[in-house]
Structure 1
Amino acid sequence: MAPPLPLPPLEPLLAVLDMAGVAVFAVSGALAAARIKQTIVTFAFFAAVTGIGGGTLRDLLIGAPVFWVGRSDYLGICLVGAAAVWLLRADRWRLNALLWFDAVGLGAYAVLGAAKALSYGVPALPAVGMGVLTASFGGIVRDLLAGEPSILLSKEIYVSAAALGAGTYVGLTLLGLGLWPAAIIGATAGFGLRALAIATGLSLPGYRDD
């Protein structure tokens, strides 16, 4: 693999989206633990796996230093999210609110994952795959640990929304658009498709569906 290119500076808004994405996914992991009546330790574990799992796999695959190692803020956000769900009994919150926040995180993380992969010399198509992994892998592991049906085995538009966001970002950068405009358009595309699915119940067709 080619030596990594210098990472573009993380602009303040992008840094906020990064942390917000970790927080949203961590809360969703803790909510999964709440639904199966687990201990506070399991809350914290589910929150961490969901919040940082996708980015961890991405960094391992592209040969980058794992983003949360050597820092306390990412794991700290996961622990705070787990504690908030435990103390505020957030499993009683309306599901729709979490779905909408999760959709925002999905769009942002798909772009962030693809951008980091490109900066490490990963070709375009694998970079899109890294964006998809970053946005969805933590949720997949969460569902498996909680014994819930995996989003991979449903017709729900989730992974495909992450693919749209990452693919849009990568395609626009290859066409010469600046990184920041491409990131905004890519994240909006991923969020938009997921939002459409949430609002209308739109789903993917199954094999030989009648």
Structure 2
Amino acid sequence: METQLTTSILAIMYFGDVVFAISGALTAARYKMDFLGFVLIGTITGIGGGTTRDLLLGRTVWWTQDPLELILCIVFSLITYFWITTDITRKKAMIWSDTLGLAAFSVVGCHIALAFGAPFIIAVFMGMVTATGGGVIRDVITNQTPMIMRGQLYASAALLGSLSYATLMYFELTEIHAEIIALLLALSLRTLAVVYDIQMGPPGEFLRIGKKESK
């Protein structure tokens, strides 16, 4: 492969694959899909963002050369299929698995773009694309409004993670420390948004806190 990834980045990437595949499979549960539906939605969620990034960069799509990502997504989608017991379990697990995947892929996407030789601003954007792309594809396929279009601090959290990582690497912080700090920043912002229901408001109302819509 043209870009060799470090052990730590591979670990974060595979972790992101797993948790995003789980979030996709849990979305499939909402529509009472069969096990193949779980595998399809889970796998698309897990590898969709990275695939989009690689295609935009003109880079070989990673999982077509190393199928471990694909295998992990399939396996954990099937595990989720047999694990689900209640709607409450599904809803909570979906939110937090998606949050973890978002933080992980914001760092991974930015790292891969930088290693591929992309300029600073492109690498930051690719980090955000990697973190949000799979979720967008998942939501479109399942006929939901994508998270990035719901006023959620979603793409913002991904942007914070990728921008932090690129900035820390620019100032030559050690890679492992840059990864940890950037991942924690993205995770913290997204967690605060989920816990306190922080949303981006319309023009004239920048932030809204604790104003959930009735469902």
Say whether the fold is shared (TM-score over 0.5).
Answer: yes
Q: Is the 8 A contact 2:110 2:162 kept in 1?
A: yes
Q: Is the 8 A contact 1:35 1:91 kept in 2?
A: no
User: Relative to structure 1, is the Cα distance of residues 186 and 90 closer, same or farther in structure 2, using a 3 angstrom cutoff?
Assistant: farther
Paired residue for 1:51? 46
Hey, what's the Cα distance between the residues in 2 that align with 1:142 and 1:44?
Answer: 12
> Once superposed, which parts of structure 1, at least 4 consecutive aligned residues long, lie more than 6 Å away?
none
How does 1:104-183 map onto structure 2 within 5 Å?
104-183=100-179
Could you tell me which amino acid in structure 2 is paired with residue 108 of structure 1? A
Q: How many corresponding residue pairs?
A: 204
- Deviation string 1:134-164 (CA, Å, 9 cap, x unpaired) is 1110000100111112112211111100000
What secondary structure is seen at the aligned counterpart in 2 of 1:203?
strand
What secondary structure is seen at the aligned counterpart in 1 of 2:62?
coil
| 1:200 and 2:201 are equivalent in the alignment | no
What secondary structure is seen at the aligned counterpart in 1 of 2:159?
helix
Could you tell me which amino acid in structure 1 is paired with residue 73 of structure 2? C
Return 5+ residue gaps in structure 2 as ranges.
207-215
Paired residue for 2:96? 100
Paired residue for 1:83? 78
Structure 1 stretch displaced more, 51-60 or 171-180: 171-180
User: Relative to structure 1, is the Cα distance of residues 42 and 100 closer, same or farther in structure 2, using a 3 angstrom cutoff?
Assistant: closer
Paired residue for 1:189? 185
Hey, what's the Cα distance between the residues in 2 that align with 1:16 and 1:166?
Answer: 17
What secondary structure is seen at the aligned counterpart in 1 of 2:40?
helix
Return 5+ residue gaps in structure 1 as ranges.
none
Q: Is the 8 A contact 1:31 1:90 kept in 2?
A: no
Q: Is the 8 A contact 1:17 1:105 kept in 2?
A: no
Hey, what's the Cα distance between the residues in 2 that align with 1:75 and 1:190?
Answer: 25
Paired residue for 1:17? 12
Q: CA deviation at 1:94?
A: 5.0
Could you tell me which amino acid in structure 1 is paired with residue 105 of structure 2? Y
Give the percent of matched residue pairs that are identical in Structure 1 and Structure 2. Answer: 34
